[in-house]
Chains A and B, each alone.
Chain A
Amino acid sequence: MTLTLTGFQAHRARPLFSPIDAVIPAGSFVAVVGPNGAGKSSLLGALAGTGVASSGRAELDGVDLGTVRARNRAGLLGLMTQDGTAPNELLVHDIVAIGSGAAQRAGIPHPSVSDALALVGAAEHEWHRASALSGGQRQLVQLARLLAQAPPLMLLDEPTSALDPAFQLRALEVIRDRCRAGHTALVTLHDLGTALRFADRVLVIPGSGQAALTGGTEDVLTPELIERVYGVSAELVRSSSGLPLLALGAERAAAPVRPKETAR
Chain B
Amino acid sequence: MTLLTSSTAAASRTRRALIATALGALTLVTLVVLSAGLGLVSISPIDTVRALLFREGVDPQHAAVIWTIRAPRIVVAALVGAALAACGTTLQAVFRNPLADPGVTGVSSGAAVGAVAGITLGLAGSLSWGVPLAAFCGALVVTGILHLALRTVPNGGGATLILVGVSINAFAGAIISILIANAENDALARGAMFWMSGDLELRDWGHVLLAVFPIVIGTTFLLTRGRHLDALTLGDDVAHTSGIDTGRTRLSLLLATSLVTGAAVSVSGIIAFVGLVVPHAVRLIIGSKHSYLMPISMLAGSVFLVAADTVARSAFGLTAIQTGAVCALVGAPVFLAMLLRRRA
Which of B2, B155, B283 has the most chain A CB atoms inside 10 A of its CB? B2
Q: How far is the CA of A79 from the CA of B240 in the complex (A)?
A: 9
Binds B, one of A30-38, A93-101, A195-203, A234-242: A93-101
A164 within 8 A of B: no
Query: Is A228 close to B, CB under 8 A?
Result: no
Cβ-defined partner of A79 (8 Å) among B233, B238, B246: B238
B159 an interface residue at 8 Å Cβ cutoff? no
- Give complex CA distance A94, B283 in Å: 14
Determine if A88 and B233 form an interchain contact, defined as CB atoms under 8 angstroms apart. Answer: yes
Tell me the total A-B contact number using a CB cutoff of 8 A.
106
Are B237 and A45 in contact (CB-based, < 8 A)? yes
Question: Within the complex, which residue of A77, A91, A105, A142 is in contact with B289, where a contact is CB–CB below 8 Å?
Answer: A91
With A83-B154, A114-B3 in contact, do A95 and B243 touch (Cβ < 8 Å)? no
Instruction: Tell me if A's interface is mostly helix, strand, loop or mixed.
Output: helix
Chain A residues whose CB sits within 8 angstroms of the CB of B240 once the complex forms: 48-51, 70, 73, 79
Q: Is the CB of A50 within 8 A of B2?
A: no
The prevalent SS among residues of B at the interface is helix
A86 touches B241 (CB 8 A): no
Tell which of B234, B236, B283 has the most Cβ of chain A within 10 Å.
B234
User: B243's contact among A45, A70, A126, by CB below 8 Å, is which?
Assistant: A70
Would you call A51 and B234 a contact (CB within 8 A)?
A: no
Q: What residue of chain A has the Cβ atom nearest to residue B6's Cβ?
A: A114
Q: Does B227 contact A (CB under 8 A)?
A: yes
* A106: chain B residues within 8 A (beta carbon): 243
Say yes or no for B10: interface residue by CB 8 A criterion: yes
With A106-B243, A114-B6 known to touch, is A84 a contact of B238 (CB < 8 Å)?
yes
| Size of interface on A: residues with Cβ below 8 Å to B | 43
Q: A98-140, CB under 8 A of B: which get 1 and which 0?
A: 1101100110000001100010000100110100000000000
The answer to whether the Cβ of B230 comes within 8 Å of any Cβ in the partner chain is yes
Q: Say if the beta carbon of A74 comes within 8 Å of chain B.
A: yes
At the interface, yes or no: B128 with Cβ under 8 Å from chain A? no
Interface residues of B in 210-242 (CB under 8 A from A): 227, 230-231, 233-238, 240-242
Contact call B2/A89, Cβ cutoff below 8 A = no
Closest 10 CB pairs of A and B: A74-B243, A70-B245, A89-B288, A102-B243, A79-B241, A50-B237, A102-B242, A127-B9, A71-B243, A84-B238
B-side residues, CB < 8 A to A, are: 2-3, 6, 9-10, 96, 98, 154-155, 227, 230-231, 233-238, 240-246, 248, 283, 287-289
Residues of A within 8 A of B (CB): 45, 48-51, 69-71, 73-74, 77-81, 83-84, 86, 88-91, 93-95, 98-99, 101-102, 105-106, 113-114, 118, 123, 126-127, 129, 142, 145, 149, 151, 155
